[in-house]
Amino acid sequence: MGALDEGHFCSELENGVKLGCIELSFEEEPETIAIEDAVKVLMQGLGEDVNREGLKKTPLRVAKALREGTRGYRQKAKDIVQGALFPESGLDNTVGHAGGAGGLVVVRDLDLFSYCESCMLPFQVKCHVGYVPSGQRVVGLSKLSRVADVFAKRLQEPQHLADEMCSALQHGIKPAGVAVVLQCLHIHFPKVESAFLDSDHQGWVELLVSSGSGVFENENANLWADFLNLLRFRGINVEKNRMRDSSDQHWCPSRSPSGAIAASKIESVNQGMVTAVASILRSLGEDPLRKELVGTPARFVKWLMNFQTTNLDMKLNGFVSDRVDPLKLNGDGCKEKKIHSELNLSFWSQCEHHLLPFYGVVHIGYLCTEGFNPIAKSLLQSIVCFYGYKLQVQERLTRQIAETASSLLGGDVIVVVEANHTCMISRGIEKFGSSTATIAVLGRFSTDPAARAKFLQSIPNTAVSGR
Ligand SMILES: Nc1nc2c(c(=O)[nH]1)N=C([C@H](O)[C@H](O)COP(=O)(O)OP(=O)(O)OP(=O)(O)O)CN2
Ligand SMILES: [Zn+2]
């Protein structure tokens, strides 16, 4: 294993590192302190009280997540591969392709995450690596994943990431050839204004990229077909010629026409926050003047400002005037009350403990007289967005939606929030595909298990994809 492999680096963070002859804990390291200071500037720019209980530890958590998530800058692929090449006798390359020492070796479905160099948000990567051994030697399989991780744990762009992985494996293993396919998923940027009206504003930006060296340099080589067929066998239907092979297009939504910052608006971005993000880049070992990173701090700040505490308060005005008459809601007392549901109201939010997005859907159930439809779906969507676009925690979001809905809907309310948390994948915990559900029950729903069960069973199980 390399001198700076994952375990070693983590124990350094936990147990302290030696800087000269002074031993510094992770908290005392200058890079950590600089990131913490910058995060405080960002939180203040969002109008937050940095001493608020839930936010006190946020600067340190963000510093830990970012330094851990970019540890690839401090690792070397060659340290990982060295000492992990093993002799494996087989047919000579000239004779044919015998498995093990001449045939294609493929490691599929490596779940990784990386940080987008355009906007600094994490993106997910499903990585597939193939190589053809040469010189009758093979590499330890885990090293393919470890080398991939060295380059993923940096600020990256998908094609560049694939090229770096491919080139490092080619130089480290010296095989007949290496092929890399990456399926990358970047979250969309919310459109705050339309989110209040349109409940379907989520989704993913997907990008498939590939890189090949040695016998894979020729994109039409039969070996590419073998490799892709093995991936297709795993349910991935890719055509080599459908992959993007030029890096001049921007895949990050922050650079799409709707997400990009118009030149005239750049000055309106809080410059103190932009400077703080540039200092974070420096503390991570990056050069904020690198041409790909020049607009990154402003784009990250623009993303963050979606979650400013004050900018949406006006949106909740009007809720009071829309309040429903409880007499109407409860009917004349003779009619039976039925569960009314609004399912899949989508939301975006920003985890206040790690400053990373979480997003998903809200399901609201309430009791009202049969045939009476007291409240428009758009109003409930507005409530969901209002509490979503903040620094939040999912538990509080659920409770706040339930309390507000209850005051409008007569008290018998159940709220379920289903979400994917970026902080569950893009930090040490790395739980890809996990999702989180929270529930708040008020009025009759808190005393009637049958009503709760009926509502919970009506929630479609496709609501949150934990991809
Ligand atoms: N009022 C507060 N409430 C909560 C706080 C807090 O600081 N003030 N903190 C938490 C959790 O610690 C926070 O949500 C983070 O938890 P976790 O996902 O476990 O992540 P960590 O960074 O702490 O840990 P790792 O082990 O590094 O993943 C809850 N409420
Ligand atoms: Zn991005």
pLDDT digits (tens, 9 = 90+) for 102-160: 689 999 999 999 999 999 999 999 999 999 998 888 999 999 999 999 999 999 999 99
63-67, long-range: CB < 8 A, 24+ apart: 63/31, 63/32, 63/35, 63/36, 63/39, 64/13, 64/26, 64/32, 64/427, 65/354, 65/356, 65/423, 65/426, 65/427, 66/35, 66/280, 66/284, 67/13, 67/26, 67/31, 67/32, 67/35, 67/283, 67/284
**What is the average pLDDT across 338-350?**
93
pLDDT of residue 424: 93
Residue 455 Cα to ligand 1 middle (Å): 30
Q: At 250, is the pLDDT very low, low, confident or very high (cuts 50, 70, 90)?
A: confident
Share above pLDDT 90 across residues of the chain, in percent, rounded to a whole number? 61
Please tell me if the CB atom of residue 267 comes closer than 6 angstroms to any atom of ligand 1.
Answer: no
Please tell me if the CB atom of residue 143 comes closer than 6 angstroms to any atom of ligand 1.
Answer: no
Give ipTM to 2 decimals.
0.93
411: left (phi over 0), alpha (psi -120 to 50) or beta: left
pLDDT of residue 174: 94
Please tell me if the CB atom of residue 68 comes closer than 6 angstroms to any atom of ligand 1.
Answer: no
Atom 3, ligand 1: residue with shortest CA distance:
54
pLDDT of residue 370: 73
Please tell me if the CB atom of residue 54 comes closer than 6 angstroms to any atom of ligand 1.
Answer: yes
Please tell me if the CB atom of residue 434 comes closer than 6 angstroms to any atom of ligand 1.
Answer: no
pLDDT of residue 408: 87
Assess whether pLDDT exceeds 70 at residue 321: no
> What is the Cα–Cα distance from 254 to 300, expressed in whole angstroms?
9
From the CA of 354, give the closest atom in ligand 1: 22
Q: Lowest mean pLDDT of 13-22, 33-42, 89-98, 267-276, name the range.
A: 13-22
pLDDT of residue 135: 83
Atom 11, ligand 1: residue with shortest CA distance:
353
Residue 388, helix vs strand vs coil:
helix
Reported pTM:
0.85
**What is the average pLDDT across 270-297?**
97
Assess whether pLDDT exceeds 70 at residue 8: no
pLDDT digits (tens, 9 = 90+) for 31-85: 999 999 999 999 999 999 999 999 999 999 999 999 999 999 999 999 999 888 8
Domains and CATH numbers, the chain: 30-243+268-306 (3.30.1130.10), 312-323+335-458 (3.30.1130.10)
